[in-house]
């Protein structure tokens, strides 16, 4: 087990509201400082997720995105500014995170996640948080995390609805993966993009913050994991719902075969 870092006086002051929580304390905060988290996408979900993970003191944050900041992003992607339009999102994210917490090491992967680079990139982190906007990337992240035994916290948003779950299928029985829930990708008509269907800006903040919470829980090993269940949020109704996810014996990723 890697030795946990000793905290400086400034770190104790910065993270004081964490340290007084019995579930975190000094040891838990030191675990956060030692943790390495990869965030897939610096967009609607990735922006608040990165913000809160940096504020929480997660020591190493990786962010992978090959896109540039566009004016239409600013309605929900809160770490980017008007002055960042045209800038690579990972560079804008690195600037923002340095302003939030200069102690955090930010690794910017200015590229698209593909089958050729996924294993090499994901292997360098302890936990992955997926905020991508397409099923091809989601399946790739799911399969790679299962292969490398990395916990995956995944969320999605569209219009006024959001959903979030944690996937740790490598733990065996009772722990499904994304393909257990979605064996095949829905059609584009069934799941349009945010550009086509729209999305409430503040909804990204709600789900991105929930992702940050679940990542912190997984690092600390506290609370009840979302593995095996999905939480759904209806912003118009102001209501949360929960659905159990069963592990499928015939799942092409984590099934018995």
Cβ atoms of 164 and 231 closer than 8 Å:
yes
- For residues 40-46, give the mean pLDDT: 97
**pLDDT, tens digit, 9 for 90 and up, residues 51-85:** 999 999 999 999 999 999 999 999 999 999 999 99
Quote the CA–CA distance of 163 and 185 in Å, as a whole number.
16
Cβ atoms of 84 and 250 closer than 8 Å:
no
Of the candidates 187, 199, 219, the one whose C-alpha atom is nearest the C-alpha of residue 158 is 199
The per-residue pLDDT of the chain, averaged, comes to 95
pLDDT confidence of 2, banded at 50, 70, 90?
A: low
60, β-bridge pairs: 36, 105
Cβ atoms of 39 and 129 closer than 8 Å:
yes
What is the model's pLDDT at position 1? 47
**pLDDT, tens digit, 9 for 90 and up, residues 148-204:** 999 999 999 999 999 999 999 999 999 999 999 999 887 766 677 777 889 999 999
Of the candidates 105, 111, 8, the one whose C-alpha atom is nearest the C-alpha of residue 50 is 105
3 state DSSP class of 84 = helix
Share of the chain above pLDDT 70, in %: 98
What is the model's pLDDT at position 193? 74
Which tokens hold the place of 10? 């400034």
Instruction: Record the pTM.
Output: 0.95
**pLDDT, tens digit, 9 for 90 and up, residues 12-24:** 999 999 999 999 9
Share of the chain above pLDDT 90, in %: 90
Given this structure, which CATH class describes domain 9-244? Answer: alpha beta
**pLDDT, tens digit, 9 for 90 and up, residues 131-148:** 998 999 999 999 999 999
What is the model's pLDDT at position 80? 98
């Amino acid at each position: 087990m890697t030795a946990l870092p000793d905290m400086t006086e400034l770190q104790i002051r910065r993270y004081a509201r964490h340290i007084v929580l019995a579930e975190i304390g000094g040891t838990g905060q030191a675990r956060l400082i030692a943790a390495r988290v990869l965030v897939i996408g610096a967009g609607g979900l990735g922006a608040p997720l990165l913000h809160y993970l940096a504020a929480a003191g997660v020591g190493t944050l990786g962010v992978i995105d090959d896109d540039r900041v566009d004016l239409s992003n600013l309605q929900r992607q809160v770490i980017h500014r008007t002055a960042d339009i045209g800038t690579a999102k990972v560079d804008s994210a690195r600037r923002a995170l340095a302003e939030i917490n200069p102690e955090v090491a930010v690794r910017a992967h200015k590229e698209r996640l593909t089958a050729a680079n996924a294993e090499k990139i994901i292997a360098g982190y302890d936990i992955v948080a997926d905020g991508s906007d397409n099923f091809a990337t989601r399946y790739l992240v799911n399969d790679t995390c299962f292969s490398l035994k990395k916990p995956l916290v995944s969320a999605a948003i569209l219009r006024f609805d959001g959903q979030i779950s944690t996937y740790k299928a490598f733990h065996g029985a009772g722990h499904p993966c994304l393909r257990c829930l979605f064996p095949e990708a829905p059609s584009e008509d069934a799941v349009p993009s945010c550009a086509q269907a729209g999305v409430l800006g503040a909804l990204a903040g709600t789900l991105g913050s929930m992702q940050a919470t679940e990542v912190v829980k997984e690092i600390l090993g506290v609370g009840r994991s979302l593995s095996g269940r999905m939480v759904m949020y209806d912003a118009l109704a102001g209501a949360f719902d929960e659905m159990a996810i069963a592990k499928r014996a015939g799942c092409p990723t984590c099934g018995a075969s």
